[in-house]
Amino acid sequence: MKTVKSPFQFPGGVHPRYNKDLTEEKPIVDLPLPTTLAISMGQHLGAPAKCLVKPGDHVGLGQLIGEKSGFISANVHASASGTVKAVEKRPGPTGNLADAVILETDQDQTDTSAFMPPLDWEKASREELLARVEAAGICGMGGAGFPTSVKLNPPPDKHCEYLILNGAECEPYLTADCRMMMEHADRIRRGVETMRRILGGPAVRIAIENNKPAAIAAMEKAFADASGDVEIVVLPTLYPQGSEKHQIYATVGRVVPDGALPIAVGCVVENVGTAAAIADAVDSGMPLVRRVTTVSGDGIVEPKNVRAPVGTSYADLAAFCGGERGNVRKVISGGPMMGFTVPSLAIATTKTTSGLLFLTDASVFQYSSNPCIGCGRCLRACPMGLDPSAISCAVEAGDVADAEARGVMNCIECGACSFGCPAYRSITHFCRRAKISIRARLAAEKAKAAKKG
């Protein structure tokens, strides 16, 4: 095991104010169990899970309540024991409606009989371990929520050469991954070794930004006796360093082609929180039912890194952190660059909720979008090498075809373009709009073709 500086630097990127000092010294604390949870069936990328319970049922902690309903889908488990009050459509952090199980929780949460039997990662077979990751409903906890079992099971013609552990946490404010690495390095290590076994022993690259020296030290200690090709890659602090494609470039110098997955260049990228969740699923048989969320911002009394059951309402998280203070203008689920502004605190956390930010007048600047003056800052900031200026102008003029020709589908929606725009143009939003309408058109064409043939 050795620690190296990142050998390659992607073009573009921006330096937002990080504000991580609000929570980076705060140890992870457990949230007292809320009285109600709203567990969504659509927490991951892909098809929503099929709900297995009905109102009146009693469920145990860790019991399967939603079954994966397709190749790219994930199981959902009860994050507490309790009684199902209702199964109803609820909006998620992005506003998309999905079935949610409304659970009234029991006082006593000591019964773990619904957990799966523990496995020994060193003795269990590759298939057993992979089946466990799938059964435990584990999906990428960095934000996108791609089902982990799919990533860990590449097609037979593809071979994984590098397992990249994403500890970059490049979003401002968020410190959940940083604290996980500092406090749970041993669990992360076991999760990584499990994934290595499943993937047939690839080399490991642990990517961490250089603004987290404590996390780097903790990971160095945990992986000190690791066998084989293991490197901790220290990345320069630059947004969006945590983006999958850019992290692959920064650590191993490979470029993922347009529209392809990382496995196309022999890489699998997993978040540090995901690794810890895999360790839990294997060691104790506990499915993914809780996660660490950074509650921060200048609009919350006491910013904290909170470990809470999946399905906790934002209101409960806010109350645990002392409630709001000042004139809170914006509540963001996730980080400020890629997160979503939420309209209500009734929305509940999911497996991918990395942060919940309360921002006051002092941090929120409201503006209207002006015409592009062609300064080129977005072009210099874009890590995907696009021309966000031209794309935004095309979308504004209703010319989605031109935006598509300019590669808008490669946009990773990182927000670096909007961040520095002196005309305050919501460039990322224009890109999202174009992508949504292009996807809708492609889906319609596909449906038409299926009907014909």
Partner 1 sequence: MLDVLIALMPAACCAVYFFGLKAVWLMATCVGATVATEAVCRLLMRREMSILDFSAALTGLLLAFNLPPDIPLWMAATGAVFAITVAKQVFGGLGYNPFNPALAGRAFMLISFTGPMTTWTKSTWIGYFDPEGVQAVTTATPLGLIKQGAFADWNVFGFVRDLFVGNVNGCLGEVSALALLVGAAYLLWRKVITWHIPVSFIATVAIYAAFKGCGAPPLVHVLSGGVVLGAFFMATDYVTSPITPLGKLIFGAGCGVFTMLIRTADPANGGYPEGVSFSILVMNAFTPLINRWTRPRPFAKLQAKS
Which regions of 255-348 does DSSP assign to beta strands (E)? 267-271, 290-296, 304-309, 328-333, 340-341
397 binds partner 1 (CB under 8 A): no
408 binds partner 1 (CB under 8 A): no
The C-alpha atoms of residue 184 and residue 170 are separated, in whole angstroms, by 20
Shortest distance (Å) from residue 204 CB to partner 1: 16
160 binds partner 1 (CB under 8 A): no
The edge-to-edge listing of strands for the beta sheet with 290-296 is: 28-30, 304-309, 290-296, 355-360, 328-333, 340-341
Lookup result for tokens 């850019």: 246
First to last CA, the chain: 55
5 binds partner 1 (CB under 8 A): no
Is residue 27 within 8 A of residue 179, CB to CB? The reply is yes
Sites for partner 1 among residues 295-354 (CB under 8 A): none
Which of 60, 118, 201, 407 lies at the binding interface for partner 1 (CB under 8 A)? 407
The stretch among 30-38, 90-98, 221-229, 405-413 that binds partner 1 (CB under 8 A) is: 405-413
152 binds partner 1 (CB under 8 A): no
The C-alpha atoms of residue 137 and residue 122 are separated, in whole angstroms, by 21
Is residue 111 within 8 A of residue 60, CB to CB? The reply is yes
Sites for partner 1 among residues 259-278 (CB under 8 A): 265
Could you tell me which residues come within 8 angstroms of residue 307 by beta carbon, excluding any fewer than 6 positions away? 28, 29, 30, 31, 290, 291, 292, 293
Is residue 138 within 8 A of residue 278, CB to CB? The reply is yes
Shortest distance (Å) from residue 144 CB to partner 1: 18
258 binds partner 1 (CB under 8 A): yes
10 binds partner 1 (CB under 8 A): yes
Total residues contacting partner 1 by CB under 8 A comes to 35
The length of the chain is 453
The stretch among 2-10, 58-66, 119-127, 215-223 that binds partner 1 (CB under 8 A) is: 2-10
**Tokens at residue 107, please?**
């006082």
384 binds partner 1 (CB under 8 A): yes
253 binds partner 1 (CB under 8 A): yes
249 binds partner 1 (CB under 8 A): yes
Q: Which of 374, 373, 340 is nearest to 355 (CA)?
A: 340
Q: Which of 264, 29, 260, 285 is nearest to 138 (CA)?
A: 285
Shortest distance (Å) from residue 19 CB to partner 1: 23
Which of 76, 382, 400, 431 lies at the binding interface for partner 1 (CB under 8 A)? 382
The C-alpha atoms of residue 250 and residue 354 are separated, in whole angstroms, by 23
430 binds partner 1 (CB under 8 A): no
106 binds partner 1 (CB under 8 A): no
H or E segment to which residue 441 belongs = helix 427-452
The stretch among 120-128, 315-323, 356-364, 404-412 that binds partner 1 (CB under 8 A) is: 404-412
Contact string (CB under 8 A) for partner 1, positions 357-376, x = contact: -------------xxxxxxx
435 binds partner 1 (CB under 8 A): no
Lookup result for tokens 């921060």: 296
Lookup result for tokens 């959902």: 76
Shortest distance (Å) from residue 203 CB to partner 1: 12
Cross-strand pairs, 89: 99
410 binds partner 1 (CB under 8 A): yes
Q: Which residues bind partner 1 (CB under 8 A)?
A: 7-8, 10-11, 245-246, 249, 252-258, 265, 370-376, 379, 382-387, 389-390, 406-407, 410, 423
